[in-house]
Amino acid sequence: MGNRVWLVTGASRGIGAEIAKAVLATGDTLIAAARTPSTLAFLGSSDRLLPVRLDVTDSVQAADAVAAGIERFGQIDILVNNAGISFLGAVEETSADDVKRLFETNVFGLLNVTRAVLPHMRGRRRGHIVNIASVAGYSGYAGFGVYSGTKFAVEGLSEALQLELAPLGVNVTIVEPGFFRTDIL
């Protein structure tokens, strides 16, 4: 341990914050991404920590965050696509704008960051992408239909990515947390 470089999106709270703390506790290096980098102050200061501004819906910010991490640490070994939002409401009552916002963050945002880091991982012929999905991507739940739709999409994309990238030395893991308290709502 102590020699891997992680990029964790949504590192300012919830699962992302816990992963970020665990990465630093192991002695590994962390590129901690959040829409507002000042929210990462709880991680402290370290030469193994690079806080970066990243709204995953912005492909330019995704490319900039990856470039900053590679410039500072020379590599990215593990990408954790954790940033996400939720929405509570019946499918028929969910506005088109809310549906778009969920898919832009949970699906297209994940793709923005993944596409930004993949040329680097492919070039090194190694890496690991961890996509945080949800049990809601395994089974739909009343009141979470649109959220479930985004997580089903993450599941399908991740399964296909694993098949595409395994021959290149890059692995993909899907994490499907169940119900527990975070402030995602």
Q: What amino acid positions are annotated as catalytic residues?
A: 147
Q: What is the 3-state secondary structure (H, E, C) of 43-84?
A: HCCCCCEEEEECCCCCHHHHHHHHHHHHHHHCCCCEEEECCC
Angle at 45 between CA 42 and CA 46, to 5 degrees: 130
CA proximity to 66, closest of 146, 151, 129: 129
In angstroms, how far is the first alpha carbon of the chain from the final one? 34
Closest-CA residue to 171 (of 140, 134, 125): 125
Determine the Cα–Cα distance for residues 118 and 114; give it in Å rounded to an integer: 6
Strand partners, 70: none
Q: What separation in angstroms does the CA of 164 have from each of 6, 50, 111, 157, 170? A: 21, 30, 14, 10, 9
